[in-house]
Amino acid sequence: MRRRLSLRPSLAGRRTIALASVALLGLGLSACGQDGEEPLSDEALVIYSGRNENLVAPVLEKLEDATGVDVQVRYGGSSELAAQLLEEGENTKADIFFSQDAGALGALGKADRLETLDPATTGKVIEGFADPKGHWVATSARARVIAYDPAQAPEVTDMTTVDAVLDPRYKGKIGYAPTNASFQSFVTALRVTKGEEGAKKWLEDFKANEPRAYDNNILVLDAVDSGQVALGLINHYYWYERVAEKGASSVNAKIHFLGSDDPGALINVAGAGILKGSNQKPSATKAIDYLLSKEGQQYFADETAEYPVVAGIESTKHDIVPLSELGRSSVDLNSLDSLEQTLALLDEVGLT
């Protein structure tokens, strides 16, 4: 039996449309379905934030008062948002990119997607905490530290260099988070200070010491705190937040800062830049100035336990050594965008 192919065209056409309209109906419904949904506005100050909503939403909410315009924030991962901004190009509605790390800002700067900031803005921060080309400025900083269990490793207080963790006595007793961006920055710092061969040797020795990999810094700190490992390589603020949350007496783990020239004491930054083509440049500048104001810096010092990047601000909640006393790290923050080679090296050594 053969199928009859005598379709009446008008009818078939109408029915094709009918079927297609089922799909369109869904889209049509959805367009008017969500009442609270507001598209990004040209009149508002639009911020793409790679920093976590739970950490920065309170300070970003204050920007409406500081700038006098509506503020709309989209949260995401720093590098995903950087990729999104690169794809959006000149069509972007974003005015500010607020990033968890310098690398993502550096990538946008390199692609000529960032405005040069007002020297009055970049001049607010401690020297070395703004992009030399003025594309972005750091808003807060974090230090790599060694967390340790005082019962198992009281001698950590005498450590001056991260090389000390290669001591065989810590075999199987070091916790680290290989996929964490701050750990990877530390490895980049190793490459910068020790050279490629030196860094490779360090990582091979580290691997031979059988470190235990965890998914993130919090779990590393958990492991140190419970005594599963003696040492952990983490960022400083995780410990301060733990202490603020549970009280100093309930936290068994302690942290130790290494010498300022050591890659193990690397300072990483979060920062912000203004997108090229932003039609809100004055408001955007005001917003970044607010993040660098006494109030804004106090927020980071108190609420996220990070280092303020403006001189003269001290945390009222956490007993944090001021950035100026830590001494300047010898590692150039801009060299941290050579992360690809770092990942290749980690892969080669087998620490992934």
Partner 1 sequence: MRSSRAPWILLGPGLVTALVALLPIGYLLVRTAEAGLERVADIILRERTLALVLRSLALAGTVTLLSLVIGVTLAILATRTNIPGRRLLAVTAALPLAIPSYVAAFAWISAFPAVSGFGGTVLVLTSCCYPYVYLPVVAAMRRIDPAVEEVARSLGRSPWNTFWSVTARQLRPAAASGALLVALYALSDFGAPSLLRFDTFTRVIYASYRSSFDRTAAAVLSLLLVVITVAITVAEARTRRGSERARVGGGVARRPHTVRLGALRWPAAAAAAVVVGVALVFPIASLLYWFATGLSAGVDLPHLATSAASTFWFSVLGAVVCTALAIPVGVLAARYRGRLTSFIEHASFAGHALPGIVVALALVFFGVRVAQPIYQRTPLLVIAYAVLFIPAAIGAVRAAVAMSPVRTEEAARSLGSTPWQVLRRVTLPLAAPGIGAGAALVLLTCMKELPATLLLRPTGTDTLATSLWTETGVAAYGAAAPYGLALVVLAVLPTLALMRSQRAGEAGLS
Find, among 62, 107, 117, 116, the residue nearest to 86 by Cα: 107
d(CA 277, CA 59) in angstroms, rounded, equals 25
- Those residues with Cβ within 8 angstroms of residue 63's Cβ, 6 or more apart along the chain or in another chain: 45, 47, 71, 287, 290
Contact 153, 147 (CB under 8 A): no
Instruction: Candidates 26-34, 132-140, 141-149, 270-278: pick the segment binding partner 1 (CB under 8 A).
Output: 26-34
Per CB under 8 A, which of residues 126..185 are in contact with partner 1?
Answer: 178-179, 181, 184
Q: Does 277 bind partner 1 (CB under 8 A)?
A: no
- Those residues with Cβ within 8 angstroms of residue 294's Cβ, 6 or more apart along the chain or in another chain: 310, 313
* Nearest distance in Å: CB 318, partner 1: 16
- In the list 10, 34, 249, 316, the residue contacting partner 1 (rule: CB under 8 A) is 34
Q: Which is nearer to partner 1, 116 or 228 (CB)?
A: 228
Q: Does 33 bind partner 1 (CB under 8 A)?
A: yes
Instruction: Candidates 30-38, 61-69, 266-274, 316-324: pick the segment binding partner 1 (CB under 8 A).
Output: 30-38
d(CA 102, CA 86) in angstroms, rounded, equals 16
* Nearest distance in Å: CB 200, partner 1: 17
Half-sphere exposure of 152 (CA within 13 A, CB side): 22
* Nearest distance in Å: CB 182, partner 1: 13
- In the list 20, 248, 311, 321, the residue contacting partner 1 (rule: CB under 8 A) is 20
Q: Does 49 bind partner 1 (CB under 8 A)?
A: no
Per CB under 8 A, which of residues 333..352 are in contact with partner 1?
Answer: 337, 339-340, 342-343, 347, 352
Q: Does 2 bind partner 1 (CB under 8 A)?
A: yes
d(CA 10, CA 152) in angstroms, rounded, equals 83
Binding mask 60-99 for partner 1 (x = CB under 8 A): ------------xxxxxx-xxxxxx-xxxx-xx-------
Instruction: Candidates 47-55, 152-160, 264-272, 307-315: pick the segment binding partner 1 (CB under 8 A).
Output: 47-55
d(CA 185, CA 181) in angstroms, rounded, equals 6
- In the list 166, 192, 219, 244, the residue contacting partner 1 (rule: CB under 8 A) is 219
* Nearest distance in Å: CB 321, partner 1: 23
Phi, psi of 264 (to 5 degrees): -70, -5
Tell the residue number behind the tokens 């949350």, with chain if given. Answer: 245
| Cβ atoms within 10 Å of 118's Cβ, excluding its own | 17
